[in-house]
Structure 1
Amino acid sequence: MAEEEKTIQEELSLPILLADRVRKSAEEAESSKIECSEIAKQVDRLSQMLRSAVRIAAASPSLYERPVRRIAVDVTKNLDKTLTLVRKCKHGGVLRHVFAITGAADFRKASNLIESSIGDMKWLLTIFEADGVNPTLPPIASNDPILAWVWSYIATIQMGELRDRIDATNELASLARDNDRTKKIIVEEGGIGPLLKLLKEGASPDAQISAANALFNIGTDQERVRLIATELGVSIFVQVLSDSPMRVQVPVANLVARMAELDPFVQEEFARENVTRPLVSLLSVDTLLDDPKLNSGKPSIHSLVQINKELARKLPTHRTSSNLSLSDGSSRGGSSHSKKEKEVETPEVKLKLKIGCAEALWKLSKGNVLVSRKITETKGFLCLAKLIEKERGELQYNCLMTVVEIAAVAESNPDLRRSAFKTSSPPAKAVLDQLLRVIQEESSPTLQIPAIKAIGSLARTFPARETRIIGPLVSQLGHRNVDVATEAAIALGKFVSLENFNCVEHSKAIIEFDGVPPLMRLLKNNERAQMRGFVLLCCLALHVGNSKALEQARALSALEGAARSVSAQHPDLRDLFAKAMHQLTLYQAGGHPHGQSFAP
């Protein structure tokens, strides 16, 4: 760390001083004068290169220092060994005779060391003085060419002309795609800072895109993602998402999604920087959203006029975009680029951007109350509902998964659940309507399963009278796809759980929607389906044990038959089974009032 704190001039001063000492000792040599003279010539050439490096460093405030420091250390070691050898040549007599026996081999070795240092310095000077990337390899990296390439690319990114910087960044991105060792070298050699600087400068969209792609290829694990964040990457990404061209925002949105997924700390940093604002704004481009005020009751003619005036004031001049406002009053957000530029972007670029933004919101909201709250407090909730309804493919799926994660957070956060998912709230109603539509109308389990999961997470939100939720879930208990049916059983299990205040009313609704027969069929499937099905059956038995439907389905027999094996695999369910069986025996003829032991 002490070496890292030295300036480059200080770093190079020691080998320059050693070079002078070697040359002086060579002039004072009393033996092997020819060899010492040759060494002196080599060292003099090396010394000139070292002094050139000092001049370049003094004149270049943006000098890429990493290879200079590494090579300076290596040159210092070689000169120190050479100095020790040359100093021996001042001795005469017997020592001179003994030294002459091995002197030739030692001088050849010293000459090779100095020549290697000359090669390193020559390469170093060319990457600082030449245009573009230097394709040659210095001796110091002869056994690891990746190191030299990384040095050369980073130096060009930090010090080169714009076109060369873009080319070097693309090459670095390609290298980073190969393997983790290469990514580690790029990080260790200080590659993150120049890439972030290139992205932040906005010298050209191509430069920003290449920088974002390189960072995306580097940030594939938690450690590297954390390093990107600690070098102020988070604020730079938020800035780019707020004011850069769309084609630049596409890879940055993808990068935000990856970073949020890999590191909870980075996820929190993004939340503090309010990245949801530009993401929601970009997601809503070309999506006309209904204002919630228009959906609350029957407004008067006067109020409609006032609302229309307000909307006209809020909306951009082009009708195809939605301008979003957040309750936190942040000034950062919407693009500062011209609206005309936004309008002329191709539909393909806009779609890619929306897909990336939706995925970023999905990853950011996972387990995060702050992000989930920010999304639900904006028109982002309405936007997600609209896109789930209108879009297909990856965009629809990413929007749906964002809702799933917000619902999962709300399941364990009563405040968020009450504020974001009030059934009287138009945005919440729009989202719930789309979840139910997906469950009932979509044919893909890939979409149905997360929609069912989201409804299940919100089970404690719905009042007893909200039976329209139960019907679609019950209908999926008999789905031909076992995973869909199992997810429906899990969701219904949350509705009838003892923790749900309306568990009895929901249980009655399941019976009314004829949910017992498909539930009994589910018990004949795989272990996961059986276990989830039996949990639901036990809860129904506890709440509506006197139901004819349970008696006709021989629910008691089913529980008795499975009690021993299920309780052995899931000891935490033993008590639930016992209570359910006892409840059924109170109402069903032929039951065993005292129950039976099924302890393993």
Structure 2
Amino acid sequence: MDFAAGEDHHHLQPIEHVLSFPIVLSDQIRHAVDDSKSYKLECTEVGKLVDHLSIMLRSFVRLTNATPFFYDRPVRRIFADVTRTLNRALTLVRKCHRRSIFLRVVTIVSTADFRKLFTLLDASIGDMKWLLSIFDGGSDSGVVLSLPPIASNDPIIAWVWSYISSLYLSPLNVKIEVANELCSLANDNDRNKKMIAEEGGIPPLLKLLKEDSSPEAQIAAATTLYNLANNQDGARLITSDLGVPIIVQSLQKSPIRVQISVAKLIRRMAENDEVSQEAFARENVIRPLVTLLSFDTMENQYEKQSIHSIFKINKAGSVSNAATTWSVNRKERENEPYELKLELKRSCSRALWMLARGNLANSKILTDTKGLLVLAKLIETETGELQTNCLMNVMEIAAAAESNADLRRAAFRTNSPAAKAVVDQLLKLINESEIAGILIPAIRSIGSLARTFPARETRVIGPLVKQLSHQNPEVVTESAIALGKFASPDNFLCTDHSKTIIEFGVVIPLMRLLRGNDRTQHHALVLLCYLAMHAGNSEALVQARVLTALEGADKSIAGQHAELRQLVVEAIHQLNMYHSGVIPSQRVPVSFSP
């Protein structure tokens, strides 16, 4: 039987066969040595080495029989290598059965063949010695790193095998040390990360994350998993290994230091992988994240409602236990230092941002959990990273609402306290902040919500017009884009909004922007066209010679932007009709999405 068919074939075989076959081969070699007729000295030496190897193989099998579960990646690799070497030894020794010198020459057996075989057998013995050393049940003193011959060209693989094996076999204090070592190894480069994941490091790390008796173990596991999830493949592997339910459970049940690490892990996985983003939503992670974010922020009445909303979706039998756990953790958090609680909120707010980013379903869940009220309150009371993260959450929810009428109606109806609170804070930032990183998401959010504002809600227009004179060109451009969404034919109230925008003095700064960079000029021109189409009889447009400006723009952009050129042509046509005394018929909006 030829067992040297390659590692992939070997990896597919049942572990019992992998373990037993080299022992069978070693017995066959012993019989072949006894029957040898030539190269007796060399064959005897082969027999001694194989006997030594056989003892080690049998010892390892006994060791695994006494272990309910063991880590098989290095076992399969080393046993495959040992099996190839034993196959080679059996073939060579069998060639020494013949008496004839002629046949001995024909078979081309030489002392060089034996020397090479001795080297391979010595390497197999070294590999088995290493394998026995890491599967001896673990050590209280930590992991002893050594290098088996099989890993002589790639020492990292031996370290990874030793570490992962220790995660299964060692006491808890050693597991913590090992997880931290794997974390450091993963930090070095992407190859190490990939190796740890591919060699089976994720399942024992997830098991360590469940060690709720040891926050140190949970933090070590969560941090290592965080390092492994730095790209789509790493995050997807954690999700594929059923990691998401374990991670969510750890977020709900653990002390604050663990929750910070777990929230960071959730953020990174959601950021790097859409499948993980969806998996977390299915496990209802948004609700506990919102509640952690609202701790020490909202009034007691809201906190009780929020806690109830987390557990009402659970099965009736598990509600009381979950609520009890949450209440205990809440009391513990009250005594934690302010900086630690702030770090938890930062981590949770960033995780929510990544869960909501580009995801309509998650944005809807966020609004269903009263998340908008929490976000509005934190935008009002906080500064720095936490405020920015909450603002980015709002921007993602607003962007989802812009593309979905149902979410707009549900979350941003005119009489909604949460919607009013969010808009109030957005406008306050636009009016008072000078920081581009704050202004841009606030302005984008208002623009995304343009179709939710009635004609009488003119207070949102003035701050946007004001920002057209900001020093930062990005802020200016985003303001032009946002105003364009109010004046766009897609907006049912575009005529009313266009008149309001002009009343707030938009024309002069807008004309100035036509001399800005390409992107600014483009969006300023779009806005100017919308205003001309919907409020072309405005005296402000006449005095600013907008018609002349558009005619010049028509010539300069010819052949560059077909859609923009068509818009300019239409705007010029509308203005000419007004100037000639003909009042154009009311333009029908392109789409109607109340």
Segment of structure 1 superposing worse, 326-335 or 350-359: 326-335
More divergent stretch after superposition (484-493 vs 25-34): 25-34
Relative distance call for 1:492 and 1:118 in structure 2 (3 A) is same
175-184 or 104-113: which moved more? 175-184
2:260 is aligned with 1:260? no
Q: Specify which of 148, 163, 184 is matched with residue 153 of structure 1.
A: 163
Aligned partner (choices 512, 518, 521) of residue 527 of structure 1: 518
Equivalents in 2 of 1:400, 1:246: separation in Å?
Answer: 24
Of residues 397-406 and 469-478 in structure 1, the stretch that sits farther from structure 2 once superposed is: 469-478
Within the alignment, does 1:490 sit opposite 2:481 as a pair? Answer: yes
1:117 aligns with 2:127: no
Residue of structure 1 equivalent to 2:592: none
TM-score w.r.t. length of structure 1 = 0.90
Matched, 1:382 2:373: yes
Answer yes or no: is 1:64 the counterpart of 2:54: no
Name which of structure 1's ranges 442-451 and 199-208 shifts more when overlaid on structure 2: 199-208
- Provide the secondary structure at the position in 1 that maps to 2:516: coil
Matches within 5 A, 1:9-20: 9-20=16-27
Per-residue deviation, residues 85-136 of structure 1 (Å, max 9, x unmatched): 1111111122465279852111111111111000000001101115232311
Normalised TM-score (structure 2): 0.91
Consecutive unaligned residues in structure 2, runs of 5 or more: 1-7, 585-594
Q: By how many angstroms is 1:377 displaced?
A: 1.6
Describe the SS at the equivalent of 2:146: coil
Q: 2: distance between equivalents of 1:104 and 1:72?
A: 26
Query: How far does the alpha carbon of each residue in 1:443-480 deviate from its partner, in whole angstroms, 9 at most, with x for none?
Result: 10110010000000000000111101111111111112
State how far apart, in whole Å, the 2-side matches of 1:328 and 1:268 are.
21
Structure 1 CA distance, aligned partners of 2:11 and 2:161? 17
In structure 2, relative to structure 1, the CA distance for the partners of 1:363 and 1:8 (3 Å cut) is same
- Is contact 1:219–1:225 with CA below 8 Å preserved after alignment? yes
Are the aligned partners of 1:257 and 1:360 in contact in 2 as well (CA < 8 Å)?
yes
User: How far 1:339 moved relative to its partner?
Assistant: 3.5
Counterpart residue identity of residue 525, structure 1: G
Query: Is the contact made by 1:326 and 1:374 (CA closer than 8 Å) also made in structure 2?
Result: no
| Percent of pairs with identical residues | 57
**Residue 348 of structure 1: how far off its partner (Å):** 2.0
Which of 305, 309, 322 pairs up with 1:325?
Answer: 309
The match for 2:53 among 39, 46, 55 is 46
Q: Is residue 137 of structure 2 the alignment partner of residue 142 of structure 1?
A: no
Tell me, in whole angstroms, the C-alpha distance in 1 between the residues paired with 2:492 and 2:236.
43
Given the superposition, is the C-alpha separation of residues 95 and 14 from structure 1 closer, same or farther in structure 2, using an over 3 Å criterion?
farther
Offset of 1:3 from its aligned partner? 4.1
Aligned-pair CA distance for 1:10: 2.1
Q: Which amino acid aligns with 1:73?
A: A
Kept after mapping to 1: 8 A contact 2:554/2:568:
yes
Q: How does 1:337-486 map to 2 (within 5 A)?
A: 337-486=328-477
8 Å contact 1:62–1:159 — kept in the other structure? Answer: no
Structure 1 residues without counterparts, runs of 5 or longer: 291-310, 316-321, 594-600
* Rounded Cα–Cα distance in structure 1 between residues aligned with 2:402 and 2:413: 13
| Residue number among 487, 496, 503 corresponding to 2:494 in the alignment | 503
Task: Give the conservation status (yes or no) of the 8 Å contact 2:349–2:386.
Answer: yes
- Cα distance in 2 for partners of 1:537, 1:279 equals 43
Match of 1:271 in 2: 281
**What secondary structure does 1:287 align onto?**
coil
Distance 1:166 1:464 in 2: 61
The 3 A distance-change label for structure 1 pair 123 and 69 is: same
Greater CA deviation, 551-560 or 534-543? Answer: 551-560
Partners of 2:17 and 2:33 in 1: how far apart?
25
> Aligned pair 1:220/2:245, yes or no?
no
C-alpha separation between the residues in 2 aligned to 1:447 and 1:34?
Answer: 83
How far apart are the structure 1 equivalents of 2:401 and 2:83?
A: 62
Aligned to 1:571: 562
Task: From the superposition, tell whether residues 408 and 312 of structure 1 become closer, same or farther in structure 2 (CA, over 3 Å).
Answer: closer
Partner AA of 1:165 in structure 2: K
2:81 pairs with 1:74: yes
